[in-house]
A = this chain, B = another copy of it.
Amino acid sequence: MGKERLTAFTDGVVAIIITIMVLELKVPHSTSLGDLAAMAPTFLTYVLSFTYVAIYWNNHHHMLAAVKTVTGPILWANMHLLFWLSVVPFATAWMGENHLAALPVATYGVVLIMNATAYTILMLMLVRNEGPDSAIARAMGRDWKGRISWLAYAAAIALAFFQPIAAKVIYLVVAMVWFIPDPRVERALKGG
């Protein structure tokens, strides 16, 4: 089965998710500078989520470029990832409105960890489908970055109940680590 329709559908869903978050940016109640400035935490949360969704799209783009075919179960693993990505706007809106409250900050972390898990499942299924000698298998390697991110999210979720600001710093640092496009795939593709 060709991968074209899967990537096109993923692009559509991700494009909508990334754009729909802006709807949570509600217009200020007045035209005063104070009301605009009060939006800063919401705006920064939106920037963070935009970056996360963009990272997923970029990495998905790289990963699927190294893949030749997809199967029925892979379609479902991709749907599972899209499901958790589609929950990001909800978590963004809640944390944006309550930017230092424990539960929204922890919930944001839970959504991130579910996305990371769904992405890893998709990756493993793609690797198994292409075989151990495939470009993608070599490209993904031991996935240290993915494993450490997962642990970092878990730590942030626990931290959210004591120091929400520290949890948010972790979300920011992990995003910055991933911001750099994945050189593993590119290296493997060149070497392959």
Contact A181 B72 (CB under 8 A): yes
The range of chain A's interface size is: 35 or more
A1-B65, A16-B12, A79-B54 known; A22 and B101 CB under 8 Å? no
Q: Which residues of B contact A103 (CB under 8 A)?
A: 31-33, 36
Q: How far is the CA of A17 from the CA of B28 in the complex (A)?
A: 20
Q: Interface 1/0s, chain A 68-106, versus B by CB < 8 A?
A: 000011011001001100110110011001100111100
Q: How far is the CA of A87 from the CA of B105 in the complex (A)?
A: 24
Q: Which residues of B contact A14 (CB under 8 A)?
A: 9
Q: Which residues of B contact A82 (CB under 8 A)?
A: 18
Contact A87 B16 (CB under 8 A): no
Contact B20 A94 (CB under 8 A): no
Q: How far is the CB of A19 from chain B (nearest CB, A)?
A: 4
Q: How far is the CB of A158 from chain B (nearest CB, A)?
A: 15
A22-B89, A107-B36 known; A61 and B27 CB under 8 Å? no
Q: Which residues of B contact A27 (CB under 8 A)?
A: 90, 93-94, 97
| Among A1, A82, A86, residue most surrounded by chain B Cβ atoms (within 10 Å) | A86
Q: How far is the CA of A82 from the CA of B103 in the complex (A)?
A: 31
Q: Which residues of B contact A36 (CB under 8 A)?
A: 103, 107
| Among A5, A32, A107, A186, residue most surrounded by chain B Cβ atoms (within 10 Å) | A5
Q: Interface 1/0s, chain A 5-31, versus B by CB < 8 A?
A: 101110111111111111101011001
Residues of A14-71 whose CB lies within 8 A of B: 14-23, 25, 27-28, 31-33, 36, 47, 50, 54, 57-58, 61, 65
Listed in ascending order, the chain A residues whose CB lies under 8 Å from chain B are 1, 5, 7-9, 11-23, 25, 27-28, 31-33, 36, 47, 50, 54, 57-58, 61, 65, 72-73, 75-76, 79, 82-83, 86-87, 89-90, 93-94, 97-98, 101-104, 107, 179, 181, 186
